[in-house]
Amino acid sequence: MSALLQVRDLSLHYGPRIGCEAVSFDLHPGELLCIVGESGSGKSTLLNAVAAQLTPTAGSVRYRQRDGEWLELGALSEADRRRLAREEWGFVTQNPRDGLRLNVSAGANVAERLMALGMRHYSQLRNMASSWLERVEIDPSRIDDAPTSFSGGMQQRLQIARTLVTQPRLVFMDEPTAGLDVSVQARILDLLRRLVNELGLAAVMVTHDLAVARLLAARTMVMQGGRVVETGLTDQILDDPQHPYTQLLVSSVLTT
Amino acid sequence: MTPRYNFAFLDEDTKRMLRRALLKAVAIPGYQVPFGSREMPLPYGWGTGGIQVTAALLGPDDVLKVIDQGADDTTNAVNIRRFFSRVAGVATTEHTADATLIQTRHRIPETSLREDQILIFQVPEPEPLRTLEPREAETRTLHALADYGLMHVTLYEDIAQYGHIATSYDYPVLVDGRFLTSPSPIPKFDNPKLDRSPALMLFGAGREKRLYAIPPYTRVESLAFDDHPFEIQRWEHQCELCGSGDSYLDEVVVDDRGTRMFVCSDTDYCSGRRVEAQA
């Protein structure tokens, strides 16, 4: 099967400091890749560079569109970049307040991306919004409530609904469960695992939590100081870490 | 005419700058052109944008009409009319049909306009996307890419909350199928008059330093949903002074017991009909 995303020797420097350095990987359709590493290891920088939110210093990112054509993201115009972000991608931020529109209702938040794609039928928008609220386990009777009246976990689920409603092919997630308490985390991870399987999404997820990687990802990349130090099947990395840093990460996880 | 001022108050260089911006605005219908807004002898929000456009266009032979909420005899209208008769010495009128330039706040006259007339709107907020997107750089990008899905979010919110599109003034329009534009705070009752109007329509926002235009006979479409089409206001009453059943009505409280009457908001249209009825 042909890859969906090809990253080659991607580097991003903040002046003299390294954000990420010479990262290469392929992502296939339906695959969920986790990027793990400690705070400051360049995970989010890498994610933002791949998602064309930051401009890389060197290297290339190529993406295969729905029609099979390969796009070089560095050469895309702003219009094309936004079209991709709107039609084919989704981005889930760590803080749902960054990804949601807080001054409009939950229903409008979910429907916004559909309206951006040109849907202009109110009842259809309404039905889609309500069915997606149900899919992320939010009571559809709260469709007209403001997201500010939702709990943190509900806001994150709302953000997931808003992102997935347009059936993107590729989703970027930046620590979607950080900052939530453990039981809420578990529900959201469960939900993500189910939706990723149902929709056949490809996803790149950044996390500092190895348990998240084990639960969701087939493949994991470990980063330290902006470089990828180890990459492979998640189980393999967690059960038989080769690099000293990975060994340290794995051994520092509390096991029950 | 007060001789201490240049004709129509503004100096000639400023008027030239304004005319250049206006030409650009006419060339790109609905596009907001930045301009160097000047301090005017009245506060922001009282029509500084409209006054500057009027000053740039006035010639000695022009006949000026000024409307505020449809009326010729309210403070804003009287003051602006007096201002221009003092600093430009131009003739003024209250009759829509006699005017060559009409500066307006919040209404389009009921009487149909002609090709030789120009309508100038006072605009408080030229950016229709502003309530949802506070960043100017972002709204400009959205205009550049014609990425207008966001505007429907406000209409969606209206229907979700009130069961219908409750926005009743400053109702967003798409000009010439391209630029999303604020029609200024006119009631949506007046939106159909913008579509393919024979008169040139110019919009000036003094505080926000933006000009834009709807050239004659340009297509102007009010946004809506497929299953919630655009509708204008309707009344169960007729004007109690002239009996008109198809003009925009104001509801006026006439005593302390809450008695109300409905009258035309366009005073010139209303008095014209009454004169006709007596004749």
Whether B163 sits among the annotated catalytic residues: the reply is no
Cα separation, B187 vs A55, whole angstroms: 45
Q: Are strands B260-264 and B249-253 parallel, antiparallel or unpaired?
A: antiparallel
Closest by CA to A108, choosing from B155, B104, B48, is B155
Print the domain residue range for B238: 234-279
- Helix spans in chain A (H): 43-50, 78-87, 96-99, 106-116, 122-135, 152-164, 182-199, 210-216, 234-239, 244-251
Q: To 5 degrees, how large is the angle CA B158–CA B161–CA B167?
A: 25
- Cβ B160–A116 below 8 Å, yes or no? no
- Cβ of B238: how many Cβ atoms within 10 Å? 16
Q: Which of A255, A218, A256, A225 is nearest to A243 (CA)?
A: A225
Could you give the percent of chain A with pLDDT greater than 90? Answer: 68
**Of B153, B222, B161, whose CA–CA distance to B189 is shortest?**
B222
Within this chain, do residues B125 and B202 fall inside the same structural domain, yes or no? yes
Minimal Cα distance from B161: which residue of A?
A144
Whether B205 is covered by a domain: the verdict is yes
Whole-number pLDDT of residue A113: 94
Q: Which residues in chain B have Cβ-Cβ distances shorter than 8 Å to A115?
A: 149-150, 152-153, 156
A255 falls in which pLDDT band (50, 70, 90)? low
- What integer pLDDT is reported at residue B233 of this predicted model? 92
Choose among B145, B152, B159: nearest Cβ to A115. B152
> Which chain A residues touch B if contact means CB-CB below 8 Å?
78-79, 82, 101, 103-105, 107-108, 111-113, 115-118, 120-123, 125-126, 143-144
Q: Tell me, yes or no, if B30 is annotated catalytic.
A: yes
Q: Within this chain, do residues B146 and B123 fall inside the same structural domain, yes or no? A: yes
Residue B203 lies in a domain: yes
Catalytic residue among B49, B50, B239, B272: B239
User: Do B248 and B218 share a domain, yes or no?
Assistant: no
Residue B171 lies in a domain: yes
- For residue A183, is pLDDT > 90? no
Closest CA to B121 of B197, B212, B56: B212
Whether B275 and B187 share a structural domain: no
* B212 within domain boundaries: yes
Q: What residues of A are in contact with residue B139 (Cβ under 8 Å)?
A: none
Q: Does B199 reside within a domain?
A: yes
Quick one: closest CA in A to B146, which residue? A79
Instruction: Report the pLDDT value the prediction gives residue B3, as an integer from 0 to 100.
Output: 63
Q: Are residues B55 and B121 in the same domain?
A: yes
% of chain B beyond a pLDDT of 90 = 94
Residues B210 and B241 in one domain: no
Spatial contact of A5 and A188, defined as CB atoms under 8 Å apart: no
**Angle B75-87/B48-57 helices, nearest 10 degrees?**
30
**B145, B156, B226: residue with CB nearest A108:** B156
pLDDT band of A253, cuts 50, 70, 90: confident
CA-nearest residue of chain B to A121?
B226
> Strand, coil or helix: what is B37?
coil
The residue of chain B nearest to residue A143, with distances taken between CA atoms, is B160
Based on the domain organization, do B144 and B112 belong to the same domain? yes
Residue A191: the pLDDT is 87
Give me the number of domains chain B comprises: 2
Give the model confidence (pLDDT) of A8-67 as tens digits.
Answer: 999 999 999 999 999 999 999 989 999 999 888 999 999 999 999 999 999 999 999 988
Average pLDDT of chain A to the nearest whole number: 91
Is B245 marked active-site? no
Band (pLDDT 50/70/90 cuts) for residue B2 is low
B239 is catalytic: yes
Report yes or no: B228 at the A interface, CB cutoff 8 Å.
yes
The first and second tokens of residue A212, run together, are 């998240």
Distance CA B270, CA B148 (A): 39
What is the average pLDDT across A149-163? 93
Cβ contacts from A onto B, under 8 A: 57
Q: Is residue B5 part of a domain?
A: no
CB B104 within 8 A of CB A41: no
Label residue A188 by pLDDT band (50, 70, 90): confident
Predicted confidence (pLDDT) per residue in A118-132, tens digit:
999 999 999 999 999
| Mean pLDDT over the full length of chain B | 94
B149 and A112 within 8 Å at the Cβ level: the answer is yes
Contacts of B159 in chain A (CB under 8 A): 122
Please check the confidence at residue A92 and state whether its pLDDT lies above 70: yes
Rounded distance between C-alpha atoms, residue A119 and residue B250, angstroms: 36
Asked if the Cβ–Cβ distance from A105 to B160 is below 8 Å, we say yes
B43 domain residue, yes or no: yes
Question: Does the pLDDT at position A256 exceed 60?
Answer: no
If asked whether residues B211 and B254 sit together in one domain, one would say no
One-letter amino acid for residue A117 of the chain: L
Judgement on whether residues B31 and B64 belong to the same structural domain of the protein: yes
| Gap between the Cα atoms of B116 and A55, Å rounded | 53
Partners of B129 on chain A (C-beta within 8 Å) are none
Tell me: the pLDDT tens digits for B111-140?
999 999 999 999 999 999 998 899 999 999
Same domain, B105 and B205: yes
Q: Using pLDDT thresholds of 50, 70 and 90, give the confidence band for residue A192.
A: confident
Most B-contacting residue of A110, A117, A120, A162 (CB-CB within 10 A), to test interface: A120
B36 tagged catalytic: no
- Do B88 and B136 lie in one domain? The reply is yes
Judge if B57 and B127 occupy the same domain.
Answer: yes
* Contact residues on chain B for A118, CB-CB shorter than 8 A: 149
* Res. A162 pLDDT band, cuts 50 70 90: very high
| CA neighbor of A92 nearest in space, from A15, A210, A237, A192 | A192
CATH number at residue B212: 3.40.50.11310
In chain B, the percentage of residues whose pLDDT exceeds 70 is 99
Residue A2, pLDDT score: 85
Nearest to A82 among B132, B145, B159 (CB): B145
C-alpha distance across the termini of chain A, in Å? 38
In our burial notation (b when 16+ CB lie closer than 10 A, e otherwise), range A129-166 reads bbebbebbebeeebbeeebeebeebbbbbbbbbbbbbb
C-alpha dist (Å) from residue A250 to A65, A207, A215, A254: 37, 14, 15, 9
The whole-number pLDDT of residue B111 equals 95
In a domain, B2, yes or no: no
What is the reported pLDDT for A180?
82
On whether any CB of chain A is under 8 Å from the CB of B153, the answer is yes
- Indicate the residue among B199, B222, B245 that finishes a domain: B222
| Per-residue confidence band for B74, with pLDDT thresholds at 50, 70 and 90 | very high
Candidates A122, A124, A126, A142: best to mutate against B (most CBs of B within 10 A) is: A122
